[in-house]
Amino acid sequence: MLLALIFSPLLALLGVVFAPRKSQVKHIALAGMLLPLAIVSYLLLNYSSWSGTTASSGRATELAVSLNWFPDIGLKLVLDLNSGVSVALVALTALLGPLCVIGSHTAITTRVRTYYGWLLVLQSAMLGVFCARDVILFYIFFEFTLVPMFVLISLYGSTNRKAAAIKFFLYTFTGSVIALAGLVYVAFVNAKGTGEWTFALDTLTQASQRLPAGTQAWIFAALLLGFAVKVPLFPLHTWLPLAHTEAPTAGSVILAGVLLKLGTYGILVVAIPFAPLAAIAFAPWLAVLSICGILIAGLICWTQTDIKKLVAYSSVAHLGFCMLGMFAMNVAGVQGSVLYMINHGLSTGALFFCIGMMYERYHTRSLKEVGGLAAKMPIWACFMVFFAMASVGLPGLNGFISEFLCVMGAFQAGDLWAAQGLPGGTAGNLGPYFAAVAGTGMIIAAIYTLYMVGAICFGPLKEPAGHADHGHGSAHGGGHGSHAGDDHGSLPTDLSAREIGVLLPLAALCLFLGLRPAPLMNLVDPAVKDTVAIVEKARTQAKATAAAADDNTSALTAR
Amino acid sequence: MIEKIFTLWPEITLFVFTCVVMILGLSRSLSVRRLCAPLSAAALAIAGVLALTTTPDAKGALPHLPLFVKVLTCAVGLVLLLQLAGTADRGYETRVARGEAFDPLRSTRAEFYAFFLFSLTGLMLCGNASDLIWLFLALELTSLPTYVMVAISADRNSAKEAAVKYFFLGALGAATFLYGFALIYGGTGTTDLQGIHAALSQQMATGGINSIAMAGLVLSVIGIAFKIAAVPMHFYTPDVYQGSSSGVASMLAFVPKTAGFVALILVLATVGWVSTSPATHGQLPEPLHSLLWIMAALTMTVGNVLAVMQNSIKRMLGYSSVAHSGYMLVALLAGPGPEGASLTRNGLSAVLFYLIVYAVANLGCFAVLGCLEKTSSDGKSEEIDHIDDIRGLISTRPLLAWVMAVCSLSLLGLPPLLGFMGKLPIFSTGLAAGEIVLVVILGLNSAIAAYYYIRIAKNAILEQSPVRPAGEEIRDAAVPARQFAGIIAGLGTVVLAIIPISSLAIDGGTFRHSRSGVTNSPAQTLPAPVGSAEPATADAPTGPVADATVPPTIAR
């Protein structure tokens, strides 16, 4: 089942390559994207966790696949979906895939086969990352997502696309090679202990947790370097605005929706469980970096006039919240963080779709050139406002609950609570101050988002010079469709049914998850609790060693 | 001595065929001359089969190394042959076809194939070496023919310049390691590798290796560095690669490099990677360890940084060849690891496996260059070389473009291609040996390398063809065999990553630990051949070698 899930896009790839007519390509690609979606839907409907039981109650283990790949280096093809976090992210990926195909129908008119082919490869690799239960397999999929994304940006992006693609590739590749060294080191330590060379995630997790804090710190640093670039954590974020701005719409959607989550997923599933002691020690510093990201990226957003860049920087800020919640390392924080991954994928993905649709009509993204589009494109403006609100965290929409949980997690994770004898606190090195500063980030987010929406949707209508001459009102009316340079001639003024079809499922999910996040929370709950339990265990262990050390010193001084 | 002859059937066969090829190439009849290439292929195929069936000489520290070297040589040699086809004598043969009388003195075809086979024979003999003199002769037999091949590979002055440069620097390298060998002889009193090992173990047990022998070892390593194109003996690489035709360049990247690494393994094995307990990795004695450490770090970095600045693909691949030697030096430094270590712990196996990985991908890149010719406005046609020449290849020759892209990405080590499978053991053996800083340098270097490999791949499959100046065009070279070689290599980087082929390399790197004089119980120290079905396992050594009783003291 999982093999079918991951490799069905590749099957469609054959169809895309050998399709007799170019016009068939997009339909084949769509089929290839819908297959995983169907499989995921089937799995979700049968997933026992929906009813609140734990993920380990049997259903998911039937899925496990384990094949030998390259035994001499211990590489195995081990796939499983036994964690709710993976299930949720697989579902997100499977949902965004077909939408990207539908959303690209009019935007991509040249080298169609290459485009949809690489999109399918990308989908396959992304699904693989979340299913892999062997760290090298994970790494292979993780790394392989670079190639399709590189191609999508450098072939189908806008003017500065080549530099953006190279920067994107080099940043991520550098980080992940260091992460590979960390993974291999853990495998070596495990092999030295047990005599068996393996890269199995569970085995290595347990082996790595037993290491002393000093070693864990290095492992954590290596892994974090790889994953933090992808997230991106401030100050490693500089590739992201460029890549986002230059990427084609579907590329931006996938980049924001899924690829950034590879980083947070890696930290949650690999980095923290591998080195919980180091994670505890580094948490405050990483939280500070996350908050820096939230505030600085937020302030940068405020001054942007390129709307796509604005949303890109807002991703940096949002992922800052996600990381803050994760490094609170209590149930509320981590749960918020996981929810944030899904919600950010939905709302920011949708925002990029919206911007792409606007761009297809006006060929500009500058807030100086367009504005007040609500007058001309009311349906589009509705969606734009809706997703902006979802992204800023309006209560009732999906962004709110996750942002709230992340900040609450940080708020609770401090020793202040226990010291004051207050209920509700958890152990941790963050605390109300962290939450308070991060909270100001929410205000900044509200400012720049509202400013953006205000400028682009409301106010006096502004259109780029020259556009009004053969505006859409007439372009789709008569024979202007074939007007030279007017390659968007078939687009109506406002959204077409196809475009609404792309945005509507996302909007519905945003609303549903905002009103009733319980199913998603139940789904990820066991996995979150497992991670938190690992951290708690390490914390007590660290306290015990510290106490023992204290006893020793006090015994010495007493003597 | 006579029993050693019986282990050399593949080499002898190859040699006999070489002589025949040399004579056939001088024939007046074109159809007879044309037999050179097929006959060379037949020779390699027969030698390969013989290599698999002959009982190798299993007395050395690495009992399965000869088998590995021979099989690899024959297999890669066949693909190289496809790539070398049509390199020599093309201009001359067209003139002969137009009616010029055939003059054997001016034909180079026979020499070309014969020297190619000689060089491969030398490589095979390297693996068999049990004596320093043998090793020296084998290394020179590998190298000397290549000097000539560079000179006659292309009809232009740069080829001759490259050959002269290569020859003089090669002579310098050879002199250096010969001097080293002489000093080793001076320091140990024997040229027999096993004898040297016994003597060195004795010295290590009693106060350290004597300084003459150590100087000899250091000089040998530096001299052999020329063969593998490692810093500080790398200077010739880009010029020679650029000067020679692509087939010869890809041969240079494989044959001398493999010979060099085999020689390094054999020479370093006489000192041994000394470990304090059977479970841990050993280390080379100090001056050698530092030397190789610095060499590895510099080789990787210099190679990659300079490759970034190149616009000529051949120069780029030349520097990348330097960089790849650096990667392999990391694994070599790590040594064979504990008893019965597999690919992930045994650095020698990792080196041997990486040689395959590198050979396949590198062959593919050079084959693509060999397939295409650029005709400039003055009517001269030359092999393509500039990075812009492959721009937009996808629209005219999609297959070649994909071969280029896949092979360069495999050189980069991008998963899931073969290059990644090769790099992973280097990472793991380096880490297992505790060389964490070196592995981090290796990681950063991979990132630097990404820049130029991506550039090649991108130009081949993503860009549009540029508008070329009038009269300039890119045409197919009329040698279909090269395309075939490229396709084989391209497929290899993908298929070999799915079908594990590393067992030969693991066997090849199996190190007989009893010789390092570490463990006290000889019974445990017999080599445990890993999954080998070769006849060699039947008559594996039956007792402890003379020096196995040397006490486990380490003089460091």
pLDDT by residue (tens digit) across B515-536? 444 433 333 333 433 433 333 3
pLDDT of residue B517: 42
Question: From chain B, which residues contact A within 8 Å (Cβ)?
Answer: 279, 342-345, 409, 414-416, 420-421, 424-425, 427-428, 431-432, 436, 439-440, 443-444, 446-447, 450-451, 454, 458, 462, 497-498, 500, 502-503, 506
Q: What average pLDDT does the segment B96-100 reach? A: 80
Chain A residues close to B528, C-beta within 8 Å? none
Residue B41 falls within a domain, yes or no? Answer: yes
pLDDT of residue A409: 85
Q: How far is CA A507 from CA A260, A306, A393, A445, B259, in A?
A: 21, 24, 14, 20, 64
Question: The tokens of B303 are what?
Answer: 């190679």
Is residue A358 within 8 A of residue A351, CB to CB? The reply is no
Q: What average pLDDT does the segment B379-395 reach? A: 85
Residue B275 falls within a domain, yes or no? Answer: no
Q: Do B502 and A177 touch (CB under 8 A)?
A: no
Res. B175: pLDDT tops 60: yes
Q: How far is CA A365 from CA A152, A308, A381, A502, in A?
A: 19, 7, 15, 20
Higher pLDDT, B246 or A461: B246
The count of domains in chain B is 1
Give the distance from residue B351's alpha carbon to the nearest chain A alpha carbon, in angstroms. Answer: 14
Closest C-alpha to A127, from A247, A40, A228, A199? A40
Q: Do A70 and B451 touch (CB under 8 A)?
A: no
pLDDT of residue B516: 44
Closest C-alpha to A173, from B300, B429, B452? B452
Q: How far is CA B465 from CA B397, B456, B473, B489, in A?
A: 11, 14, 11, 25
Is residue B24 within 8 A of residue B33, CB to CB? The reply is yes
Q: Do B432 and A188 touch (CB under 8 A)?
A: yes
Residue B384 falls within a domain, yes or no? Answer: yes
- Proportion of chain A above pLDDT 70, given as a percent: 90
pLDDT of residue A425: 66
Question: The tokens of A539 are what?
Answer: 């914390």
Res. A1: pLDDT tops 80: no
pLDDT by residue (tens digit) across A8-25? 888 888 888 887 888 888
Chain B residues close to A188, C-beta within 8 Å? 344, 428, 431-432
Closest C-alpha to B56, from B123, B10, B18, B15? B10
Q: Which residue of A has its CA nearest to B447?
A: A174
pLDDT by residue (tens digit) across A424-433? 667 777 778 8
Q: How far is CA A453 from CA A307, A312, A447, in A?
A: 10, 15, 10
Q: Say how many CA atoms lie within 13 Å of A181 toward its Cβ.
A: 28
Residues paired with A366 in a beta bridge: A306
Higher pLDDT, B212 or A548: B212
Q: Which amino acid is at B80?
A: L
Closest C-alpha to B244, from B189, B184, B164? B164
Task: Print burial letters for B88-126: b (CB count within 10 Å at least 16), e (below 16).
Answer: bbeebbeebeeeeebeeeebbbbbbbbbbbbbbbbbbbb
Q: What average pLDDT does the segment B132-152 reach? A: 92
Highest mean pLDDT among A55-59, A79-83, B21-25: B21-25
Give the distance from residue B363's alpha carbon to the nearest chain A alpha carbon, in angstroms. Answer: 23
Is residue B438 within 8 A of residue B293, CB to CB? The reply is yes
Is residue B61 within 8 A of residue B515, CB to CB? The reply is yes
pLDDT of residue A408: 86
Instruction: Compute the C-alpha angle B255/B260/B262, nearest 5°.
Output: 95
Give the confidence band of B542 by pLDDT, cuts at 50, 70, 90: very low
pLDDT by residue (tens digit) across B259-284? 999 999 999 988 878 765 555 567 78
Q: What average pLDDT does the segment A161-176 reach? A: 88
Q: B398: how many CB neighbours lie within 10 A of its CB?
A: 12
3-state secondary structure of A81: coil
CA–CA dist A260, A236 (Å, integer):
13
Q: Do A71 and B497 touch (CB under 8 A)?
A: no
Work out whether the CA dihedral A459, A460, A461, A462 comes out positive or negative: negative
pLDDT by residue (tens digit) across A300-357? 988 888 888 899 999 999 999 999 888 888 888 899 999 999 999 999 999 999 998 8
Q: How far is CA B97 from CA A505, B29, B35, B127, in A?
A: 72, 11, 17, 43
pLDDT of residue B257: 94
Ranges A105-109, B290-294, B394-398: which has the least confidence:
A105-109
Is residue A77 within 8 A of residue A67, CB to CB? The reply is yes
Residue B512 falls within a domain, yes or no? Answer: yes
pLDDT of residue A418: 65
- Averaged confidence pLDDT in chain B: 83
Q: What average pLDDT does the segment B348-357 reach? A: 91
Residues in chain B: 556
pLDDT of residue A423: 65
Q: What average pLDDT does the segment A503-527 reach? A: 87
pLDDT by residue (tens digit) across A143-152? 889 889 998 8
Q: A533: how many CB neighbours lie within 10 A of its CB?
A: 12
Ranges A165-169, B54-58, B306-310: which has the least confidence:
B54-58
Ranges A91-95, B183-187, B202-206, B224-228: which has the least confidence:
B202-206
CA–CA dist B215, B291 (Å, integer):
12
Give the distance from residue A67's alpha carbon to the nearest chain B alpha carbon, in angstroms. Answer: 12
Q: Do A74 and B344 touch (CB under 8 A)?
A: yes
Res. B540: pLDDT tops 80: no
CA–CA dist A166, A171 (Å, integer):
8
Predicted complex ipTM: 0.85
Instruction: Compute the C-alpha angle A195/A199/A202, nearest 5°.
Output: 95
pLDDT of residue A467: 63
CA–CA dist B264, B258 (Å, integer):
10
Q: At what angle do helices B65-84 and B480-495 cross, to 10 degrees?
A: 140
Residue B554 falls within a domain, yes or no? Answer: no
pLDDT of residue B304: 94
pLDDT of residue B329: 94
Give the distance from residue B316's alpha carbon to the nearest chain A alpha carbon, in angstroms. Answer: 18
Res. A468: pLDDT tops 60: no
Q: What is the DSSP letter of B413?
A: T
CA–CA dist B314, B250 (Å, integer):
10
3-state secondary structure of B28: coil
Res. A475: pLDDT tops 50: no
Q: Do A181 and B503 touch (CB under 8 A)?
A: no
pLDDT of residue A195: 76
pLDDT of residue A435: 84
Question: From chain A, which residues contact B within 8 Å (Cβ)?
Answer: 69-75, 136, 139-140, 143-144, 146-147, 150-151, 154-155, 166, 169-170, 173-174, 177-178, 180-181, 184-185, 187-188, 191-192, 197
pLDDT of residue B520: 36
Res. B480: pLDDT tops 90: no
Closest C-alpha to B442, from B413, B416, B421, B406? B413
Q: What average pLDDT does the segment A79-84 reach? A: 80
Largest CA distance in chain B: 76
Give the confidence band of A411 by pLDDT, cuts at 50, 70, 90: confident
pLDDT of residue B478: 76
Q: Do A174 and B447 touch (CB under 8 A)?
A: yes
Q: Do A173 and B416 touch (CB under 8 A)?
A: no
Identity of the residue in A140, A155, A166 whose CB atom sits nearest the CB atom of B415: A140
pLDDT of residue A47: 66
Q: How far is CA A200 from CA A134, A143, A204, A205, in A?
A: 4, 18, 6, 9
Question: The tokens of A123 are what?
Answer: 């989908």
Q: What is the DSSP letter of A426?
A: B
Question: The tokens of B97 are what?
Answer: 């076809």
Residues paired with A426 in a beta bridge: A413
Give the distance from residue A548's alpha carbon to the nearest chain B alpha carbon, in angstroms. Answer: 31
Identity of the residue in A70, A136, A181 whose CB atom sits nearest the CB atom of B500: A70
Chain B residues close to A180, C-beta within 8 Å? 424, 427, 443
Structural domain for B235, as ranges = 2-270+282-549
Give the confidence band of A410 by pLDDT, cuts at 50, 70, 90: confident
CA–CA dist A183, A142 (Å, integer):
13
Res. A231: pLDDT tops 90: no
Q: Which of A72, A76, A77, A198 to mutate to test the interface with B (most CBs of B within 10 A)?
A: A72
- Proportion of chain A above pLDDT 90, given as a percent: 11
DSSP string, B428-468: HHHHHTT-HHHHHHHHHHHHHHHHHHHHHHHHHHTSPPPPP
pLDDT by residue (tens digit) across A365-401? 888 888 888 888 888 888 989 999 988 888 888 888 8
Q: Do A192 and B279 touch (CB under 8 A)?
A: yes
Give the confidence band of B438 by pLDDT, cuts at 50, 70, 90: very high
Res. B546: pLDDT tops 50: no
pLDDT by residue (tens digit) across B40-65? 999 999 999 988 887 766 667 788 88
- Averaged confidence pLDDT in chain A: 83
**Residue entry with tokens 């045994």:** B346
Q: What average pLDDT does the segment B324-349 reach? A: 86
pLDDT by residue (tens digit) across A17-74? 887 888 888 888 888 888 888 888 888 877 654 433 444 444 445 677 788 888 777 7
Q: What average pLDDT does the segment A2-11 reach? A: 84
CA–CA dist A64, A48 (Å, integer):
16
Q: Which of B280, B345, B438, B458 to mutate to test the interface with A (most CBs of A within 10 A)?
A: B458
Chain B residues close to A150, C-beta within 8 Å? 454, 458
pLDDT by residue (tens digit) across B358-372? 999 999 999 999 888
Dihedral of the CA atoms B8, B9, B15, B21 (nearest 10)?
-160
Residue B277 falls within a domain, yes or no? Answer: no
